[in-house]
Amino acid sequence: MTVGGQDMGTDNRKLEQDSVLTDRRLGHDMGQEELMKRRMVRSIVLFVVTLAALLVFIGLYIEEKRRVQETYAAQYKLSLQQASEDIGVYLGGEADYDMRYIRITCDVNCANTFAFLIEDFGDRRKTVNQLYTCLLKYPDQMKTRLTELDTALNDMAADLDKGYEEAAALIGSIDKMGT
């Protein structure tokens, strides 16, 4: 059938094809929505898993940091105890005095190093550093005050504040202009 020079059957077929294409597009669009929903769900699940892993690693880091700080504190106390033992040997006159004084200085240096590594050590770090400096710069004066230093080191190793006060008093009694 032709109307105005156009075949109506062709128009109907064209209309049916457009209708099918539209249905396919709608179906395709619904497939795209479903695909986007799946992708969103996957990305949310991936985000949650990643966040959980991150929290686990943060927890492990904090635990390891605490353990390392405990190790530094134990090594610090051990260095103070070693210095105290070396002072006892020095005062007992059991060995070469110069070598023992060097050992005392080295042990206090180790304690100074560990004090630097321990967090929240503040003024205690400064006191230990000053003790080490006095041992290095003023050996003649420090050799006469080893008994006081031994008492201070024992109290510091026992984690008593009076040990740091005794060490500060010892540092203050050193003539910084002399040898």
CA distances, 147 to each of 86, 109, 125, 170 (Å): 12, 18, 21, 11
- Asked whether residue 90 is domain-assigned, the answer is yes
- Asked whether residue 60 is domain-assigned, the answer is no
The count of structural domains within the chain is: 1
- Asked whether residue 169 is domain-assigned, the answer is yes
Residue whose C-alpha is closest to residue 135's, from 114, 160, 152:
152
At 2 the three-state DSSP class reads strand
Q: Is 39:84 a contact under the CB 8 Å cutoff?
A: no
Residue whose C-alpha is closest to residue 101's, from 142, 129, 130, 131:
142
The Cα–Cα gap between 133 and 6 comes to 109
- Asked whether residue 166 is domain-assigned, the answer is yes
* pLDDT for res 29: 52
- Asked whether residue 40 is domain-assigned, the answer is no
* pLDDT for res 177: 79
Show the tokens assigned to 80: 């103070």
Q: Is 89:104 a contact under the CB 8 Å cutoff?
A: no
Q: Is 123:164 a contact under the CB 8 Å cutoff?
A: yes
CA 138 from chain center: how many Å?
Answer: 36
CATH number of 152's domain: 1.20.120
The Cα–Cα gap between 148 and 130 comes to 15
Centre a 10 Å sphere on the Cβ of residue 173 and count the other Cβ atoms it contains: 11
- Asked whether residue 14 is domain-assigned, the answer is no
- What domain range is 98 assigned to? 68-173
The DSSP letter of residue 6 is: E
Say if pTM beats, i.e. exceeds, 0.75: no
pLDDT in tens, the chain (179 residues): 555 555 555 566 665 555 555 545 555 555 788 888 999 999 999 999 999 999 999 999 999 999 999 999 999 999 999 999 999 888 887 667 888 899 999 999 999 999 999 988 888 999 999 999 999 999 988 989 999 999 999 999 998 889 999 999 999 998 887 66
Phi, psi of 3 (to 5 degrees): -130, 125
- Asked whether residue 24 is domain-assigned, the answer is no
- To the nearest 10°, report the CA torsion of 100, 174, 126, 64: 20
* pLDDT for res 1: 52
Q: Is 91:109 a contact under the CB 8 Å cutoff?
A: no
- Asked whether residue 9 is domain-assigned, the answer is no
